[in-house]
Each structure stands twice: as structure tokens, then as C-alpha cells.
Chains A and B, each alone.
Chain A
Amino acid sequence: MIRTENLCKSYHCHTRHEVCAIQDVSLHISKNSFVVLHGPSGSGKTTLLNILGTLDRPTNGKVFMSGEDITSFSDISLSRLRREKIGFIFQDFHLIPRLATWENVSYPLIPLGIGQKERLEKSKVLLEKMELGDRLDHSPEELSGGQQQRVAIARALINNPKIIIADEPTSNIDDETSERVLELLKELKSSGTTILVATHDAHFEKIADVVYKMKNGRIE
């Protein structure tokens, strides 16, 4: 499903020194697998996820998704790929503060031309699944960290993506909610979705099909 060849990403960070976030990363992620990226902070997990999720471009190397080299894709093609195939769950949720919960969840549906009523219905189904059915009109500020994370998960699922990429999905939430998130990802995997998670949480490693350990920007 996803294959990378010698991926490198370096930053200049407004200094003369080049910082290599990841170097020569080659990996293979099969369809419908649960893959965990494990490693200490600064090991390059988030950078790798961003590149695999098409949120960033590599400095060198290639990423193949369903056999296509997506590193050569145009901006519009990458947007289409994100819209149709990828759901991204961010460590710090990235919800839009002034929007209600259901509006945040349905935001990716707006450019698809789906009417407000249908968007509300779809969001409602997902938010009820996340046990947030009574929080439809709440703003993110009115929700706890765990609830916000579940809203972000619902948003990632709204387009029925084939791949879910989650960056430290449990780092900002309590243990109980972490377990719920884990269960949810397991459910998604069993329904045929490919899951890629970067985490410190040992619970994820137990259920993962593959665990990649990262250190200093490389896969060990």
C-alpha cells in the first residue's frame, strides 16, 4: 500500500546548519495492517508521518502509494489524495476554535458540495460513535482533551479514508480515553483500514502488525 525509498528530510531552520530529521528511510506498509512507529522524541516520527500523509514533501527519496510515486504529485493531486484516501489524526488535535464540534468534523465535506443537512447527519453518526452525540454544538474550547481528540478522529474518518495516520494520538489524553482510542483504531483496522501510528504508548505495540523503531531519523 505504502512504500518509501531512501526518504530524507532536512531543515535549515534559518541557520547555516542543516538538520536532518529523517535519513534513508525505506519501509513498506501493507494494506490493512496496523503499523506502529516507535521512538524517542526528536527521532523523526512526526516528520515521517507528515511525509507519508502528504502534509510535507521529502528533501530526497520517494513515496509510493498504491504503486504511484506521490512525491511527484502536484498540489491539487496531493489534496485529492488526502481527501479521498488519508485521514490524519494530529497530536494537538488541530480543531478550528470558532467552529462547533459537528462543523469541525464535517469541514472536509464542504468542498465536496455536500449540503449542510447531510453534513450534519454524517457528523452526528460519527460523533455518536465517539460518544459525543450530546456535544454537537459545543466549541472545541468547551471540550476536554480526550473529547477533542475524539472529534479529531471523527474528522479524520468523515471521508471513509483507506489509511489513518495518527501522530501520538494518546499523548494529550487520559488513560481511559487512550484505551477508547486504541479500541477505535482496532475496530477501524478490522474494517479494512490501514493504520499508521507514531506513539510512545506500549499498548499500541501489543496490537501492531509491524513496529518500526526510529532513532536519530533512521529506522533501526
Chain B
Amino acid sequence: MNKHLNLLLLATENLLRHKTKTIVVCLCIIAILSPFITAIAISEGIRAQSLASVKAGADLYLTFDEFGRNAAIPLKYLDEIKKIFGVTKAIPRIIGRAFLQNKLAVIVGINKEDLPESISCISGRIFENPNEVVVGHELAGHFHLRTGDQFSMRGQQRKTFTVVGFFSSDASIWGSSMILMSFKDAGELFGKQGVATDIQIHTLPGHNSEIATDLYDIFQNEPYRLQDKHMVELYFKKGFMLKEGIFSALYLVALSLGVPAILVASGFGLSERKKEIGIMKATGWNTLEVLEVISFEQLLISLLGATISILLSILWVKGFNGVFIAQFFVAEITMLPKFTLPARFLPLPCMLSFFFAFILTMVGSIYSSWRASTESPVVSMK
């Protein structure tokens, strides 16, 4: 035990003695790991928030189908749908996009009584009268909107809306640029009366197949599309993987530059190290003991690099709200998101980061060290 402790202490001293090398290797590890850990944390945060909202959402989503895409569904079927056995609630919604001056906003039109409980987190109040809207934090901040302010959407100036409330800054990422209004107002805004972009159907457990059969009877000759929670979840994951893929591709380019840098940095002072290993062997050290010291050095430097990377990533997300990196995961946001970016620092990616750093530093040093320690001490000391 004392022997291993001695070797660990020696490794620590070696790192302190070679400060420049230690700092360079650490910086390389941080440069590689920090974006990775930050990206994973943001990705996990958004994924968790999205899946939570899907889980909290409706059991079935009903739309029409045009050219293989979701299309607006006429409201004339709403009463029939509500009467199907097993349907507890059928909520028509209008979800669209429109410009408020130069900024694209997500318009959500829903009847006040159908608002989900998760939309209670606001300052001001919810809409009650015609043309009243609740505005997302980012949008409100961008236009310095206050309660009572009035505005019209670009190109649709026939309607003037009055701001009556705001989503708070810790609302979900989708709430940041959202304008929430009554279903009727949204229909009027887009000039589409009598249709909804989708109907959310809440059902009793285990009734989805029977409800699907009844819907088939109702929409016999109509091109409709019915998706359950599981399918929505799958579509979401698929879309999210695409975004992660774009980040991964960019990260791969950065990694292809970073890895050689770390390998070169790990091998700094190779001739000096080789000579030192020769002296160690000449004075009675065996190969395993030499390699144990080298491994301890790499272990410590990886731990140090990974720990600093994790701390920097936390600072990046919590302190700087994922500046520069968030836009890879959330569409149509600025470099510095105006809403609180969801992030989850899970133990597994942190552990993987450490192992990745350890493997990288080991690759950069272990082979040359092994060669030096298995050669005759005379050769290594030259």
C-alpha cells in the first residue's frame, strides 16, 4: 500500500514539477471536453423538458393530412369526437408562426378553459377578453413590452392585440417567443375560421384503439392523421437527433484538431522522460512500477482536466446561459438565449469525459514510456 501511495505522490510531484506541460495538457483536455459536456447537458436538458411536455400532453393528436404533411382540421367534427366513448377532452388548437415586426413569433391559439396547468407560470394575467394576449419573456424583452401595450402582427394590421401578461423567464424554451391568445383570435389572425391546426384528444387509459376505430368511422372519406403520444415522442427524438448530429459533425472537426494537440502535448519532454526512465530502471525500478507512476500522472491530469471542464461547463450553462452553443439545439434563437436554458448534468457523460481524457493522455504517453522501460536501461539513458 505504501508503495502505491509513494508512486501516487511521486506522480503528483512530477505534475507539479512539469507545470508547463501539465497546464498545456489540461488546457487541451478542457478545450475538447468543455463544449462536449456543455452540449450534452443542454441536449439532455432540452430532451428532458420536451419529453416531459409530451408526457404531460394529450394522448392523441388529430390533424388532416395534405401532401403527406399535417394540415388544418375542420372544427365541424369536434362535437362528434367529444362524444366518442373514452374521450375525456378534445381541445382544438391553432399553432402558427407570424412576424412581430422583424421577429418570428409562435402563435398559440387555445380556449382559456383548455389551457394546460403548466401555463400558469406568468406575470400579469391570462387573456380573458378578445384581442388580449400573453407574451413570452424573450419576445417581451426584445420589444420592451409592458402590460397594456398594444401591437399588431406584421402584414395583419386589421387586428390589434393588448398585452395582459407574460411568461416568466424560467418558462419552457417554447414559451420564450410565444404569443398566447384565444382560439378565436388566432383564427382571425390567420384568416382561418372553423379550422384548427390540431385537436388534442385526452382519453381514458386503454381506449386508444377503440377511439381510433371510431375516428376511422367518422373520417371515412377524409385524409386524416392520428398520432399517439409514443409517435410524437419518436418524431421529436428523430428531429432532435438531427440537431445533435449537426453539432457532432462540427465537434468532430474540432476534435480532429484537438486530439493531435493533446497527443503532442502529452509527449512533451519525451527524451528527458526516456532518460529518467532509464535512470529509474538502472536504480532498481521495474517496468510495472515505472508504468504505474506514468499511469497515475495521466489519471491525475485527466481528473484535473475533466473536473475543470465540468466546472467550466456548469459556468457556461448557468452563468452564460449556453452562449454560442445553445443555437445548435434550439432553432431560431440568438447566440445568447434570452430564456433560461434547460440543462442536466448527468453523471454518465461526466464519467465518460474523464475516461476519454484518460485514454487520450495515456495514448500520448504510455507507449513511449513502455518502450523506454522495456529497453535496456543503458539504451534509455542515452
Q: Are A96's CB and B279's CB within 8 A? A: yes
Q: Is A107's beta carbon under 8 Å from chain B?
A: yes
Looking at chain B's contact residues, the main secondary structure is: helix
Q: A55, A96, A111: which contacts B6 (Cβ < 8 A)?
A: A111
B336 contacts A by Cβ under 8 Å:
no
Q: Which of B4-37 contact A (CB under 8 A)?
A: 5-7, 9-10, 17-18
B residues 306-324 touching A (CB-CB < 8 Å): none
The 6 closest A-B pairs by CB, nearest first: A83-B284, A113-B2, A79-B286, A113-B3, A108-B283, A111-B289
Contacts of B5 in A (CB 8 A): 113
A98 interface contact, C-beta 8 A:
yes
What is the bound-complex CA distance between A90 and B289, given in angstroms?
22
Q: Given the known A-B contacts A55-B376, A55-B378, A115-B2, are A75 and B276 also in contact in the complex, defined by CB atoms under 8 Å? A: no
- Categorize the interface residue count of chain B: 20 to 34
A33 at interface (Cβ–Cβ under 8 A)? Answer: no
Asked if B376 and A79 sit within 8 Å, CB to CB, the answer is no
Indicate whether A114 sits within 8 Å of B284 (C-beta atoms), given known contacts A50-B378, A55-B377, A94-B381: no
B287 at the interface (CB under 8 A from A): yes
Whether the Cβ atoms of A107 and B6 lie closer than 8 Å is no
A sample of 5 cross-chain residue pairs with beta-carbon separation below 8 angstroms, ordered by A number, consists of A55-B376, A82-B284, A94-B278, A96-B279, A155-B283
A116 within 8 A of B: yes
Chain A positions within 8 Å of B276 at CB level: 96
Q: Which chain B residues (254-292) contact chain A, with CB distance < 8 Å? A: 272, 275-276, 278-289
User: A-side interface residues toward B, CB under 8 Å?
Assistant: 50, 53, 55-57, 75-76, 79-80, 82-84, 88, 90, 94-98, 107-108, 110-116, 155, 159
A119 to chain B, nearest CB (A): 9
**Chain B neighbourhood of A115, CB < 8 A:** 2, 6
Closest to B288 in A: A76
Task: Determine whether the beta carbon of A79 is less than 8 Å from that of B378.
Answer: no
Contact (Cβ within 8 A) B287 A75: yes
A56 and B378 within 8 A (CB): yes
The contact of A75 among B279, B286, B378, by CB within 8 Å, is B286
How far is A82 from B5 in the complex, measured between Cα atoms in Å?
A: 22
Whether, in the assembled complex, B374 has its beta carbon less than 8 Å from a beta carbon of chain A, the answer is: yes
- A80: chain B residues at CB < 8 Å are 284, 286
Instruction: Report A-chain residues with C-beta under 8 Å of the C-beta of B287.
Output: 75-76, 79
Residue of A nearest to B278 (CB): A94
Contacts of A96 in B (CB 8 A): 276, 279
C-alpha spacing A88/B381, complex, angstroms: 13
Which B residues form the contact surface with A (CB < 8 A)?
Answer: 1-3, 5-7, 9-10, 17-18, 272, 275-276, 278-289, 374, 376-379, 381
What B residues does A110 contact at CB under 8 A?
A: 6-7, 10, 285
Cα-based distance from A111 to B376 in the complex (angstroms): 19
Task: Please give, as numbers and ranges, the residues of chain B lying within 8 Å of A76 by CB-CB distance.
Answer: 286-288
**B284 with A79: CB separation less than 8 A:** yes
Q: Is B376 a contact of A159 with CB atoms below 8 Å?
A: no
Q: List, in ascending order, chain B residues with CB within 8 A of A111's CB.
A: 3, 6-7, 284-286, 289
**B381 proximity list for chain A (CB < 8 A):** 90, 94
Further 14 A-B residue pairs, CB within 8 A, beyond A56-B376, A111-B7: A55-B282, A55-B376, A76-B286, A79-B281, A80-B286, A82-B281, A88-B282, A90-B282, A107-B279, A107-B280, A112-B3, A113-B5, A115-B6, A159-B284
| Residues of chain B contacted by A95 (CB below 8 angstroms) | 279
Q: How far is the CA of A115 from the CA of B9 in the complex (A)?
A: 10
Residue of B nearest to A161 (CB): B284
Closest to B275 in A: A94
Rounded to whole angstroms, the CA-CA distance of A216 and B182 in the bound complex is 104
Chain A residues positioned under 8 Å from B9 (CB to CB): 116
Q: Which residues of B lie under 8 Å from residue A112 when comparing CB positions?
A: 3
Write the chain B residue with the least CB distance to A92.
Answer: B381
Alpha-carbon distance A55/B7, docked complex (angstroms) = 23
Q: Which of these, B272, B278, B285, contacts A108 with CB under 8 Å?
A: B285
Contact of A94 among B6, B10, B282 (CB under 8 A): B282
- The distance from the CB of B18 to the nearest CB of chain A, in whole angstroms, is 8
